[in-house]
Structure 1
Amino acid sequence: MNLFRLAGDMSHLLSVCVLLLKIRATKSCRGISLKTQELYALVFVTRYLDLFYSYISLYNSIMKVTFIATAVSIIRYMRFDKVVKQTYDKEQDTFRYAFLVAPCLVLALVLNHRFTFTEVLWTFSIYLEAVAILPQLVLMQRTQNIDNLTANYVALLGAYRGLYIVNWIYRYFTEPHYRQWLVWISGVVQTALYADFFYFYTKAWKHNTRLQLPA
């Protein structure tokens, strides 16, 4: 594992920690999209099925279990905690799952490395992760209710993907047979979705003002 991959993993993990901190400390999930959290849970479950039949390393297994467990924990808070669920912006978080899940599943059935059950699900998770942030970005644009912890959560997710792209570039030049075109294209699409957010995030940070996205 190279430094860029490790930094990307830590950024991803930190984003989840920031989100859990926001929910637990403030007893609020205002500004957080449940749709995005459930999509991420679906991403992790379909991607990490190999936990049951393949062992790579202790680090790898711990990270997979951690991401599944934290995704389920966030959803549990937002759906079942009596105090937290009252702060959920249900009326604004209306992005339809089908518009993301169905195309990703069809694409995974058509474009994959091998047409096997686990490989198709793994490919599906790659495609779905690329667009899973969309409900969150739409919710932030609609409500303009963007506190610092929510903004930092999304920024860390974007940083995770950016660092993974650097990791792929590094591996391309250091590993002769490393080619992952479907992963690379999906990663670039995912990173591009953050471009508008990072422009306004950086602008707000420079001027020490509250983040606002154009409606």
Structure 2
Amino acid sequence: MNIFRLAGDMTHLASVLVLLLKIHTIKSCAGVSLKTQELYALVFATRYLDIFTDFVSLYNTVMKLIFLGSSFSIVWYIRHHKIVRRSYDKDQDTFRHYFLLLPCFLLALFIHERFTFKEVMWTFSLYLEAIAILPQLVLLQRTRNIDNLTGQYVFLLGAYRALYILNWIYRYFTEPHFVHWITWISGLIQTLLYADFFYYYFQSWKNNVRLQLPA
């Protein structure tokens, strides 16, 4: 494992911890899109179908369990916790996320590396993860005034994907025959979706003010 992948994994983990900290400690999910969290839960559920059949390493298994458990826990908190769910802005979080599922599934059926159930589901998870942040970004655009923890959560998610791109570049030049076009293109699309958010995040950080997105 190279430093870029490790940094990406730790950044991804940090994003989850920041969101759990907000939900569990502050008892608030204000500014958090349930639609995006449901998509991420589905991403991990379909990506890690091999968790009990193909052992890679203890680190790999633990990280899979963490992301599976945390994603479903966040969805449960927003949907069912008496206090947390009161802060959920259902009227603003109206992105029809289920419309994203069928195109991603059809794309995975036709564009994949091997036509097996696990491989198609893994490819589906890549396509879905690339656009799963859309409901969250739309919600932030509507609410405009974003609290620090929510801003940090989205920033860390984008940073995780950017670090993984560096990981792929590093592996391309250091590992023979390392070519994964589906993973690369999906990751690049996902990173580009964060570009506008990154700009305003750094502007607010530079000026030491609360993050606000333009109308």
TM-score between the two structures when normalised by the length of structure 2: 0.99
Q: Does 1:110 align with 2:103?
A: no
Identity, in percent, stands at 68
Distance in structure 2 (CA, Å) of the matches to 1:30 and 1:182: 34
User: Match of 2:136?
Assistant: 136
Give the deviation of 1:71 after TM superposition.
0.5
Residue deviations 1:18-74 (CA, integer Å, cap 9, x gap): 000011111110100000000000000000001121000000000000000000111
Distance in structure 2 (CA, Å) of the matches to 1:183 and 1:14: 22
User: Match of 2:28?
Assistant: 28
Residue deviations 1:103-124 (CA, integer Å, cap 9, x gap): 1111001100011111000000
SS in 1 for 2:71: helix
Distance in structure 2 (CA, Å) of the matches to 1:201 and 1:101: 29
How does 1:146-157 map onto structure 2 within 5 Å? 146-157=146-157
SS in 1 for 2:29: coil
User: Match of 1:62?
Assistant: 62
Distance in structure 1 (CA, Å) of the matches to 2:19 and 2:69: 14
Residue deviations 1:163-191 (CA, integer Å, cap 9, x gap): 00000000000001111000000000000
Give the deviation of 1:200 after TM superposition.
0.2
How does 1:116-127 map onto structure 2 within 5 Å? 116-127=116-127
Distance in structure 2 (CA, Å) of the matches to 1:201 and 1:143: 15
* Kept in 1: contact 2:145–2:210 (CA 8 A): no
RMSD value, Cα: 0.7
Distance in structure 1 (CA, Å) of the matches to 2:214 and 2:12: 26
User: Match of 1:177?
Assistant: 177
Q: Does 1:52 align with 2:20?
A: no
Distance in structure 1 (CA, Å) of the matches to 2:181 and 2:124: 14
User: Match of 1:163?
Assistant: 163
Distance in structure 1 (CA, Å) of the matches to 2:105 and 2:148: 34
Give the letter for the 1:140 counterpart: L
Distance in structure 1 (CA, Å) of the matches to 2:74 and 2:145: 19
User: Match of 2:209?
Assistant: 209
SS in 1 for 2:178: coil
SS in 2 for 1:49: coil
Distance in structure 1 (CA, Å) of the matches to 2:99 and 2:145: 24
Structure 1 gaps, min length 5? none
* Kept in 1: contact 2:42–2:125 (CA 8 A): yes
